[in-house]
Amino acid sequence: MAPAPSRLGQASWTAAGAVARQHQDSTKLHSDCPRNAGTNGRKVPSPPLLRPTTHRPHLPLVTYKMATDRLAALRAERAQQYQPSGYQPQDPSAYQMNAYPPQDNTHGTYGSNGYGNGGTTETEMTRFYDEITALQDLIHSYRDNITRISNLHSRSLTVTDDESLRHTTSELDAVASQTHDLSAQIKQRIQLLEANRGKVQGRDKEAWIQQTNVVKSRFVTAIQEYQQAEQQYRQRSRQRVERQVRIVKPDATQQEIESVVNNDQGAQVFSQALMSSNRYGESRLAYREVQARHDDIKKIEKTLTELAQLFSDMSVMVAQQDETIDAIETHAVQADKAMEQGLQETDKAVDHARAARKKRWICFWISVAILCVIAIILAVVLTQVIPKNNNNRRR
């Protein structure tokens, strides 16, 4: 016979029966609902009822709910113990949208990281190298403009109609103005680098000075190229003006030609010759050509003056020496002196070796001479003694 169920088992049985009846009522209501009309009157089968056993009685629903809530609270408390402070759970989609969150751009110094002597931040040196790259790009653009200006110079000397000449002159003025602004910008940024040089120390300062000097040298070279291009164009323009003056006035003197080229008063001489010329149409074109070339020469002179001033300023900047360069030059001078002393010692050693070799040759030839003298004496003595001996034997 099975043992009688305890009070806890009876309570479990009663609670389970109530849950089963509630489930049957909800199933019936679900099947009678109009939204389930598509089931064609089919009843949704209810899950089988759980029969409590007397051997392992079930806990009441209230007790089970309390245990479940307590377990969830313990798990949440343990999870908070293992989470770092300030951690906030995020939506997984947030990791996809921001896989690499923005970082602080403030870095420590080289000295704090153990890579330098301190005094310079990585961000500052990064900005410096970015500025060097930008300056190199600007100098490259500056040299490209110089090439364009040279090409426009050649084109302006070959065009024949007024419209093409005006178009070429307008384009040339635009490029020249852009190049002037570009040179001013490069100069200002190089001066700013020179002014900020004292903010860096150690190896960073050496790199700062070296890279700045490289940029300055390239800019000075570009300025010299621009000067050469302008000087060549000025020379060709002068030759073109001289040819045009010869067309109108073949007997023009060199002084008259120089007056036409160099000042505005010379145009009066040209206009007088134009009025007395027989070839009016050709002379008129020549006169307009001379006027245009005269304006170009004035612009060239102005550009050359600006370039000379810019070259002077950059030369002064390049000539400025700092303690690092002075130390390098001092070591170089000392090395040169040591090299000169070494060369002098080497020359002395070579002279001594030559003198010793010369003395050895002198001794050798003296010995040869002595041997020759001895041989001659022996030969003379023998030639005298041998005949006497033969005569004595005959007697």
Q: Does the pTM exceed 0.75?
A: no
Res 199 pLDDT > 70: yes
pLDDT band at 8 (very low <50, low <70, confident <90, very high): very low
Res 308 pLDDT > 60: yes
- DSSP 8-state secondary structure symbol assigned to residue 276: T
pLDDT in tens, 242-296: 887 777 777 777 887 777 777 665 556 666 666 665 555 566 666 677 777 777 8
Mean pLDDT of 300-327: 75
- 119-320: in CATH 3.90.950.20: no
Residue whose tokens read 């806990």: 59
Quote the pLDDT of residue 74. 63
Q: Rg of the Cα trace of the chain?
A: 54
* 214 membership: H or E segment, kind and range: helix 202-248
Res 152 pLDDT > 90: yes
- 148-157: Cβ within 8 A, 24+ apart: 148/175, 149/175, 149/176, 149/179, 149/226, 149/229, 150/229, 150/233, 153/229, 153/232, 153/233, 153/236, 156/296, 157/236, 157/237, 157/240
The answer to whether 143 and 222 have CB atoms below 8 angstroms apart is yes
Res 59 pLDDT > 80: no
> Under 8 Å CB-to-CB from 208, ≥6 apart: which residues?
128, 193, 197, 200
Q: Which one is predicted more confidently, 209 or 44? A: 209
Residues of the chain above pLDDT 70, percent = 57
Res 19 pLDDT > 70: no
